[in-house]
Amino acid sequence: MMSSGLAAFTLVHVPISLIGIVTGLIAAFGLLSAKRLDGMTGVFLATTVLTSVTGYFFPFHGFKPSYVVGGISLLVLAIAIYARYSRGMDGGWRRTYVITAMIALYLNCFVLVAQAFMKVGALNALAPTGSEPPFLIAQIVVMLIFIVWTVLAVKKFRPDNLPARA
Q: Binning pLDDT at 50, 70 and 90, where does residue 61 land? A: confident
131-100-18 Cα angle (round to 5):
60
Using left for φ > 0, alpha for ψ between -120 and 50, and beta otherwise, residue 140 falls in alpha
pLDDT at position 152, please? 97
Q: Binning pLDDT at 50, 70 and 90, where does residue 1 land? A: very low
Q: What is the rounded CA–CA span in Å between residue 145 and residue 135?
A: 16
Q: What is the rounded CA–CA span in Å between residue 113 and residue 101?
A: 19
In the chain, the largest separation of any two C-alpha atoms, in whole Å, equals 57
| Chain-centroid distance, C-alpha 69 | 10
Q: Is the pLDDT of residue 6 over 50?
A: yes
Across all residues in the chain, what is the average pLDDT? Answer: 92
Cβ 20 vs Cβ 108: under 8 Å: yes
Q: Give me the mean pLDDT over the 144-164 stretch.
A: 87
Question: What does DSSP assign to residue 84?
Answer: I
Q: Give me the mean pLDDT over the 99-124 stretch.
A: 96
Radius of gyration of the chain (CA): 17
Spell out the alpha helix ranges (H) of the chain: 4-32, 38-55, 65-81, 92-119, 121-126, 133-156
Q: Which amino acid is at 17?
A: S
pLDDT at position 7, please? 85
pTM of structure: 0.91
What are the pLDDT digits (tens) for 83-93?
999 999 999 99
Of 28, 35, 45, 30, give the one whose Cα is nearest residue 84. Answer: 45
Q: 123: burial class by Cβ within 10 Å (0-12, 13-18, 19+)?
A: middle
Bigger pLDDT: 17 vs 5: 17
